[in-house]
Amino acid sequence: MDLKSSTCKERVDKLTAIGKKGGMDAFLVTSEKNMRYFAGFSALAIERFAGLIIPVEKGVPVVMVPKLEEEKAKDHSMFREIRSYSDSEGPGALLSNAVRDLKLEKAVLGVEGTLPFRFYRMLIEASSKIKMEDASMIFSQLRSIKSEEELKIMEKAAEIVAKGIKAGIECIRPGVSELAISSAIERTIKENGGESIPFCIVLSGSNSALPHGETSSRKVNKKDVVLMDVGAVYESYYADLTRTVFVGDATKLQKEIYNIVAEAEEAAIKSVKPSIKAEEVDRAARKTIEKAGYGEYFTHRTGHGLGLEVHEEPYMVQGNEAVLQPGMTFTIEPGIYLAGKFGVRIEDDMAVSQTEGRMLSNLAKELIIL
């Protein structure tokens, strides 16, 4: 058994142990990310049905995919019971047969909360006596604890994104557009092994005051602030980093804001350790910014979980009493945004070790004036 298959087996064993304790008979996995987590691959189904039934006690996991994904499943799935359907057949009969073969007609089935209604209806048509329960938190909690293998992949992902941001910084100068800077970042990420770049946000001048602004054709001017927020995927895992730089000069206010945000990020990073609540990390950053008098301009949470998705558990936000555990991974990204003027955000990726926080990203964050 190779490393990948043993990892998937371990994940399934943990899932079925939880299911058995919770009175579930099986799980139905349909999302791309959870398929990849448990089966080692994901089908490019788009609107078509693709799923994985994992029995809790009896029977082997069954992979169900569209015909055009069958060979991919055979090559990459950790489970060998693979069934497919053609577009003309549709998936209904395939799902019904799998339910019957696994004797799940009266099962308690753990499903994802995001299960599309049309797939829910297919299950009811397969057997009206199936009882469905939302297992989203079970999947999320399992995925939130990363192995050392996953952490190393995420460190590599962060290294690749850091190279992209460095390339972006190198091409920033008056007259260069946000789109051109974004292109330089994306090209470098792809050249260094990045699989995909779901977002590469470059915001200059007053655009930087928009936490989720859109990269535009605006050209950089002297004395502009330029904010770069980049997310990229390596071996299916995300990295998400943000840096803010200044062009030509930085005003006293800009330097003040940058230093406050940097101090807030450092306070949050230092607060990370096992057994504290996620909201305490948010509080560490927020307290620093509020003390400086800019609390109302920090308009979002301090961070979000990171892994196979760019936003997942745990979230560093007020009210989240989830206790941090070794292996959890997330961003730390405080910011201050002065509408119509400029904004500053600094973002890094980190994990919880056995005793403290562990940085996954390694990108300089001193104040840079280009």
Read off the pLDDT of residues 17-76 as tens digits, 9 standing for 90 and up: 999 999 999 999 999 999 999 999 988 888 999 999 999 998 899 999 999 999 999 999
Q: Note if the bond before 91 is cis, omega within 30 degrees.
A: no
- Per-residue pLDDT of 263-299, as tens digits, reads 999 999 999 999 999 999 999 999 999 999 999 999 9
Identical fold, 3-143 and 148-359 = no
Using alpha carbons, select from 203, 272, 194, 177 the residue that is nearest to residue 233. 194
**How far are the Cα atoms of 160, 229, 231, 306, 319 from residue 164, in angstroms, in the given order?**
6, 11, 10, 19, 34
Residues 6+ apart with CB under 8 A from 147: 7, 327
HSE-CB of 17 using CA atoms within 13 angstroms: 7
Using alpha carbons, select from 187, 236, 229, 198 the residue that is nearest to residue 211. 229
pLDDT value of residue 358? 98
Low-confidence spans in the chain with pLDDT less than 50: 1-3
- Domain 148-359 class, CATH top level: alpha beta
- Domain 3-143 class, CATH top level: alpha beta
Does this model's pTM top 0.85? My answer is yes
pLDDT value of residue 1? 40
Q: Is 90 exposed, middle or buried (0-12, 13-18, 19+ CB in 10 A)?
A: middle
Query: Which sequence spans correspond to the domains of the chain?
Result: 3-143, 148-359
